[in-house]
Structure 1
Amino acid sequence: MRPNKRDELVRKALKVFYRYGFHATGMDKLVVETGVSKTSMYKHFRTKEDLILAVLKLRDEEFCENLFRRMNELADTPAGQLLASFDALNEWFHEKEYRGCMFIKAGAEFQDVAHPIHKQSAEHKKIILNYLTDLARKTGARDPDDLACQIFLLQEGAIVTAVFLKSYEPAQHAKAAAEVLLNAALA
């Protein structure tokens, strides 16, 4: 099924916002980068923030679907899937256009916790943490909530460190630390 104009705009805008950031990307830049006129943009979205929310929704769906699918493809046990999350991150870090986490950026650019963009970014992180918590429970870990939080923090740290050090290694370093935490939680 061919995507409609609104979906095409959201997909194109996602790439532009990911590349340049949210505040640094004005409507004029969006027009140039997406090839969509301001009139057409405002036909689909009342404000730039409405467009950003649609972009974050799409990114959340695509990112979670890809991450969770890769974790399941790379391992067939809950413990293995927790560790495989770092292999999936490593694959992401190797992508040519890797520029870190769009939700971390959105949360940093829209710091008011009551702002809808900040809230949507936080919700994305909660979805990932909940998925990890469910897997941690399935491992039989003594304290699955703590284990999931620890693995989540390692993932987030690896994402940020990969950007700042321009390195692929943080995913593997974080995986090694996660393995220690997992073994301790299962002992």
Structure 2
Amino acid sequence: MISAEQAELQVLDAAETLFYTRGIQVVGMDDIRSASGVSLKRLYQIYPSKEELVQAYLRRRDLRWRRRLAAHVETRATPQERILAVFDWLHAWFSEPGFRGCAFINSFGELGATSPAVVEAARAHKEAFFAYLATLTADAGRPAWVADHLALLAEGAMTTAAITGTPAPAHQARQAAHLLLEATETV
């Protein structure tokens, strides 16, 4: 018998794969059970409702996404290089097999009208990402408003890459970010 921690991990792994690739609404708890190898009874002991599972999936996805981004960005030497590294990382992410866009945008699009928990998770994720960009922008000595523009470039690249199926929007957004940083160098 697997431990409670291992069962939860298997359920979250299955949920992440299924929710991200197929969408939240079309994936039932039976699908999660089958993919995770955890009995339906145990699954409901861990997550009494699908909504709780969705919240756990989004929390974990948020932490993983932001950690991966920060680990990449922190390898760059200068503040400006760190800002541009955000877009380099986005390109690498967009190039991954199975990339389907931002899980938070997708979840909000599916359930934003009916699930306050999904709305809150999506907003919290975006706020944390925007705050991270604000920190990078401040470190680079740029005006605070530059972070808002960088966030819009990144968000637009995420959505466009998902729809077009190409990572090219990350490079286009990077070029625009570079121009924005150059234009605000003396501001």
TM-score between both structures, scaled by the size of structure 2: 0.92
Q: Distance in 2 between matches of 1:72 and 1:28?
A: 41
Q: Distance in 2 between matches of 1:113 and 1:38?
A: 25
Question: What secondary structure, in the 3-state scheme, does the structure 1 residue paired with 2:184 have?
Answer: helix
What's the offset of the Cα at 1:154?
0.6
Kept in 1, the 8 Å contact 2:87–2:174? The answer is yes
Q: Distance in 2 between matches of 1:155 and 1:140?
A: 20
Partner residue in 2 for 1:54: 56
Partner residue in 2 for 1:117: 118
Of residues 8, 17, 21, the one that matches 1:6 is 8
Q: Distance in 1 between matches of 2:180 and 2:38?
A: 48
Q: Distance in 1 between matches of 2:59 and 2:50?
A: 14
User: Does residue 91 in structure 1 map to residue 105 in structure 2?
Assistant: no
What's the offset of the Cα at 1:117?
1.5
> Residue deviations 1:135-157, cap 9 Å, x none?
1111111x22x111111111111
Give matches, 1:38-187, under 5 Å. Answer: 38-73=40-75, 75-112=76-113, 115-141=116-142, 143-144=143-144, 146-187=145-186
Amino acid at match of 2:102: C
Kept in 1, the 8 Å contact 2:13–2:36? The answer is no
User: RMSD between aligned alpha carbons?
Assistant: 1.6
> Residue deviations 1:115-143, cap 9 Å, x none?
012101110111110011011111111x2
Question: What secondary structure, in the 3-state scheme, does the structure 2 residue paired with 1:4 have?
Answer: helix
Name the CA shift for 1:177/1:21 in 2 (closer, same or farther; >3 Å): same
Kept in 2, the 8 Å contact 1:107–1:122? The answer is no
Count of residue pairs brought into register by the alignment:
183
What's the offset of the Cα at 1:7?
2.1
Question: What secondary structure, in the 3-state scheme, does the structure 2 residue paired with 1:186 have?
Answer: coil
Q: Distance in 2 between matches of 1:5 and 1:114?
A: 26
User: Does residue 35 in structure 1 map to residue 37 in structure 2?
Assistant: yes
Q: Distance in 2 between matches of 1:34 and 1:113?
A: 27
> Residue deviations 1:79-126, cap 9 Å, x none?
111111010011111111211110111111222497012101110111
Q: Distance in 2 between matches of 1:37 and 1:46?
A: 13
Kept in 2, the 8 Å contact 1:82–1:136? The answer is yes
Question: What secondary structure, in the 3-state scheme, does the structure 2 residue paired with 1:24 have?
Answer: coil
Partner residue in 2 for 1:25: 27
Q: Distance in 2 between matches of 1:147 and 1:72?
A: 20
Gaps (5+ residues) in structure 2?
none
Q: Distance in 1 between matches of 2:104 and 2:157?
A: 15
Q: Where has structure 1 moved over 3 Å in runs of 4 or more?
A: none
